[in-house]
């Protein structure tokens, strides 16, 4: 959920001259600064030109001229100003890494201005690097400038998901504010000549201190929300409401807090009560509040399982975002923002097009519109190409698009026609044509490169390779192999962590680093492990679909060797490995994988022992809709074992062990509802009866579309359909689940 936050202040206009200058130069500098503050940029430039003639070697005059011209253009020449500052920096032969003494404090304004430009151009790493260097020399700076540096760093830490660093800086800011307030209050009466002037300045200063405190409370809430520290957040929310009242930022933050708690109706109510019409536009705040309003509503309705309504709100947010971009500059789709021209610098961060496309894509995937989701995510991946989650989502789109929707499946082999595809001839020559096994190896764009972004299984394989490559390969600890197998190195992570550097977790081990996954939260240790398992499961399925059985077996075995594997993925791993081995004519090895005793759990989570990963673990996933198991997926150990037995019967049949196959078939049939036996299993029963010479019984099985003798066990999930991918992901922080299909083998 996005929330409003205070933006970085304007760039500093340094009019304080170096020591040793004449009174005339001081007067010119003062006049230039006063004209700048009054908005008379032409007059300010005249004074600066005169000042430059007197002191041509002072780089500060050149910098102030560049800044004045920047403001004169309406802050639309960001790239030009950036280049000017870089040129000045090069002339001075100083770099950020060289800031190691008090001599460099003189250049602090230049460095700060560069950091602000990097911030607005979304170059957060560069901005943080400069800001942290300036932070080392905070003491010599005046209080207002020191506060500006701290606020800039706090904003940057929150944007890069480093909430603990942000909280540390906020504590420093509180000390600065208290110190500043005490010193100014102590000097009050003696500094100014009249009581009237003193009281007015005191009131102005008090208002400034209160505004800073309100700003700090809002930042604290944002940090606690990222950390999922709900108790601390609840306390801080009260301070925000006391200092800011029912303003749009405070209500957005409180709505975000209720969203994390699962109080979705209250979150919607708080959003609706915010008066976004009165909020300043993006030119003043750098934020499109209306866009955030629709986006947050979309997130909340996604969490409530109302995916179509959530998609409606995301589309509204996209429309609002494009409308704002069109008003700010040329290119309604954010093309101008890419070039950083034509749009005021303070509004560059207002464009959220690619984040919204990401949300729309995930929502469309849940609705069952994989092709539309593919288009949205393909546009988003151009910006967020280092996000392994996003590549997995694209692969899921390809898999679902080629498998077809559940509605299409019900019109095929399983329910409507049963196992009879057609009847040919009449009387004595009447023949029954049985349905063939549904072909997975669809022909995709022959003669076309697989790297072309089309929703094909070939492109899905490329996406999954990208996702695996983006995950860390080795882990320094917790890498014990499962059941004595080779260690399959992994670096953990699930889905919705909130920090992006080791400093956030307070740990320094190599394996505890966070993996960036913009625009969603960074991947943490357990999240990486879960994501790796999901990618391997998808990779095995895609390789089977493409007929690459060796690669499918490799992915399935890697999946089974993962140290922390959910029961559902372990079940799929055994099925995929068995199918690949059967295709490779290694029936005995396949039978070992198809042992029903291999299935002891079919849950989607890792295990209850993972709950000790952190005190806030239970708060990580507010979304409940993803936890619903797909109808075509075994919901119990019994039904999963029945699927294994059906496949085991197929394997025995391939070895001509018909009696064992028959026993497996009927044992499995006794574990599921008669009407829910897969058609492949019925065809296997027909084949076994024909092999046994029971032609009449085989005909009865075909006519009744059920195995004989009929059994009446307890109801179970529909095994006629192969399990579809579990597209289950939050808009900004998706949730990993397997994406695969169970395949019943038959001869």
Read off the DSSP letter of residue 714. Answer: -
Per-residue pLDDT, 679: 83
The SS3 call for residue 468 is helix
Per-residue pLDDT, 100: 52
Q: Write out pLDDT tens, residues 326-373.
A: 887 644 444 544 555 667 887 888 889 999 999 999 999 999 999 999
Give the other-Cβ count within 10 Å of 130's Cβ: 26
Q: How far is CA 194 from CA 181, 183, 190, 191, in A?
A: 20, 19, 9, 9
Those residues of the chain that have pLDDT short of 50 are 1-18, 95-96, 102-103, 187-193, 330-334, 336-337, 405-416, 439-445, 476-512, 607-627, 629, 710-747
Long-range contact set of residues 143-151: C-beta below 8 Å, sequence gap at least 24: 143/176, 143/179, 143/180, 145/12, 145/108, 145/112, 146/176, 147/173, 147/176, 147/177, 147/180, 147/212, 148/8, 148/9, 148/12, 148/112, 149/112, 150/176, 151/6, 151/8, 151/9, 151/215
Per-residue pLDDT, 714: 40
Per-residue pLDDT, 360: 96
Read off the DSSP letter of residue 515. Answer: B
Per-residue pLDDT, 738: 36
- Compute the chain's Rg from CA coordinates: 32
Provide the angle, in degrees to the nearest 10, between the axes of the packed helices 248-261 and 264-273. 170
Tokens of 735: 């949730």
Per-residue pLDDT, 1: 46
Q: Residues 514, 527: contact at Cβ < 8 Å? A: no
The SS3 call for residue 405 is coil
Per-residue pLDDT, 205: 67
Per-residue pLDDT, 695: 87
Provide the angle, in degrees to the nearest 10, between the axes of the packed helices 388-403 and 370-381. 160
Cα–chain center distance at 190: 56
Burial class (CB within 10 angstroms; exposed 0-12, middle 13-18, buried 19+) of 196: exposed
Listed in order, strand segments (DSSP E) in 111-169 are none
Q: Residues 706, 698: contact at Cβ < 8 Å? A: no
Residues 6+ apart with CB under 8 A from 288: 281, 282, 320, 321, 324, 350, 352
CA distance 524 to 511: 10
Residues 6+ apart with CB under 8 A from 269: none
Listed in order, strand segments (DSSP E) in 408-483 are 420-424, 431-434
Q: In sequence order, what DSSP letters do the residues of 275-322 get, joined into one string?
A: -GGGS--HHHHS--HHHHHHHHHHHHHHHTT-HHHHHHHHHHHHHHHH
Bridge partners, residue 434, by sequence: 420
The SS3 call for residue 204 is helix
What pTM did the predictor assign? 0.79
Q: Torsions phi, psi of 428, nearest 5?
A: -65, -25
Q: Write out pLDDT tens, residues 20-36.
A: 567 778 888 888 888 88
Tokens of 544: 């089977």
Residues 6+ apart with CB under 8 A from 515: 388, 470, 471, 472, 491, 493, 522, 523, 528
Per-residue pLDDT, 180: 63
Per-residue pLDDT, 460: 94
Of the candidates 128, 122, 1, the residue with the CA atom closest to the CA atom of residue 503: 128
Of the candidates 353, 226, 256, 215, the residue with the CA atom closest to the CA atom of residue 2: 256
CA distance 342 to 498: 34
Tokens of 150: 């701290």
CA distance 638 to 645: 11
CA distance 538 to 739: 5
């Amino acid at each position: 959920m996005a929330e409003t936050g205070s933006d970085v202040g304007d760039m500093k206009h340094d009019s304080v001259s170096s020591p040793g200058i004449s009174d005339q130069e001081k007067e010119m500098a003062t006049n230039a600064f006063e004209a700048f503050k009054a908005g008379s940029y032409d007059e300010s430039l005249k004074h600066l030109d005169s000042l430059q003639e007197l002191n041509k070697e002072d780089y500060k005059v050149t910098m102030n001229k560049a800044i004045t011209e920047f403001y004169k253009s309406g802050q639309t020449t960001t790239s030009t100003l950036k280049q000017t500052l870089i040129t000045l920096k090069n002339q001075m032969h100083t770099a950020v890494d060289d800031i190691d003494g008090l001599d460099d404090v003189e250049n602090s304004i230049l460095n700060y201005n560069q950091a602000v430009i990097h911030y607005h151009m979304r170059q957060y790493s560069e901005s943080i690097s400069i800001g942290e260097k300036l932070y080392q020399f905070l003491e010599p700076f005046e209080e207002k400038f020191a506060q500006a540096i701290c606020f800039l760093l706090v904003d940057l830490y929150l944007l890069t998901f480093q909430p603990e660093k942000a909280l540390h800086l906020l504590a420093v800011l509180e000390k600065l504010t208290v110190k500043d307030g005490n010193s100014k209050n102590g000097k009050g009466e003696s500094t100014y000549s009249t009581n009237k002037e003193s009281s007015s300045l005191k009131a102005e200063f008090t208002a400034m201190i209160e505004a800073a405190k309100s700003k700090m409370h809002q930042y604290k809430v944002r940090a606690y929300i990222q950390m999922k520290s709900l108790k601390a957040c609840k306390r801080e929310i009260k301070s925000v409401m006391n200092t800011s009242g029912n303003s749009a930022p405070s209500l957005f933050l409180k709505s975000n807090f209720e969203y994390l708690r699962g109080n979705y109706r209250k979150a919607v109510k708080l959003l609706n009560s915010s008066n976004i019409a009165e909020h300043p536009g993006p030119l003043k705040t750098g934020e499109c509040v209306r866009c955030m309003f629709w986006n947050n509503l979309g997130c909340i309705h996604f969490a409530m399982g109302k995916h179509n309504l959530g998609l409606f709100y995301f589309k509204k947010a996209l429309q609002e975002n494009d409308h704002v971009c069109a008003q700010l500059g040329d290119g309604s789709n954010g093309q101008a923002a890419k070039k950083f021209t034509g749009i005021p610098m303070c509004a560059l961060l207002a464009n959220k097009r690619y984040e919204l496309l990401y949300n729309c894509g995930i929502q469309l995937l849940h609705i069952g519109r994989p092709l539309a989701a593919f288009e949205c995510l393909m546009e988003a991946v151009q910006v967020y190409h280092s996000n392994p989650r996003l590549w997995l989502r694209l692969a899921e789109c390809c898999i679902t698009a080629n498998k077809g929707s559940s509605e299409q499946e019900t019109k095929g082999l399983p329910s409507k026609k049963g196992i009879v595809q057609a009847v040919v001839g009449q009387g004595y020559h009447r023949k029954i044509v049985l349905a063939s096994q549904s072909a997975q190896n669809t022909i995709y764009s022959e003669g076309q490169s697989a790297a072309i972004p089309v929703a094909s299984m070939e492109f899905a394989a490329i996406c999954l390779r990208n996702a695996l490559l983006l995950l860390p390969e080795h882990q320094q600890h917790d890498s014990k192999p499962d059941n004595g197998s080779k260690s399959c190195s992994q670096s953990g992570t699930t889905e919705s962590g909130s920090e992006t550097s080791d400093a956030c977790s307070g740990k320094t081990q190599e394996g505890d680093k966070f993996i960036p996954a913009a625009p969603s939260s960074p991947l943490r240790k357990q999240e990486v492990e879960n994501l790796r398992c999901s990618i391997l499961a998808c990779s095995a399925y895609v390789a089977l679909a493409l007929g690459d059985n060796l690669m499918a077996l490799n992915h399935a075995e890697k999946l089974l060797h993962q140290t922390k594997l959910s029961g559902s993925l372990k079940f799929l791993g055994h099925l995929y490995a068995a199918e690949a081995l059967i295709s490779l004519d290694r029936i005995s090895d396949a039978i070992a994988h198809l042992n029903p005793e291999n299935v002891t759990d079919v849950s989607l989570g890792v295990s209850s022992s993972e709950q000790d990963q952190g005190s806030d673990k239970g708060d990580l996933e507010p979304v409940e809709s993803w936890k619903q198991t797909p109808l075509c997926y075994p919901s119990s150990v019994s039904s999963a074992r029945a699927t294994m037995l059906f496949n085991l019967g197929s394997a025995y049949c391939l070895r001509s062990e018909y009696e064992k196959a028959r026993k497996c078939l009927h044992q499995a049939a006794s574990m599921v509802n008669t009407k829910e036996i897969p058609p492949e299993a019925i065809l296997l029963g027909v084949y076994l009866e024909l092999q046994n010479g029971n032609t009449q019984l085989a005909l009865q099985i075909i006519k009744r579309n059920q195995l004989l003798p009929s059994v009446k066990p307890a109801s179970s999930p529909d095994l006629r359909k192969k399990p579809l991918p579990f597209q289950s992901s939050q808009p900004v922080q998706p949730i990993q689940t397997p994406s695969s299909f169970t395949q019943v083998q038959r001869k």
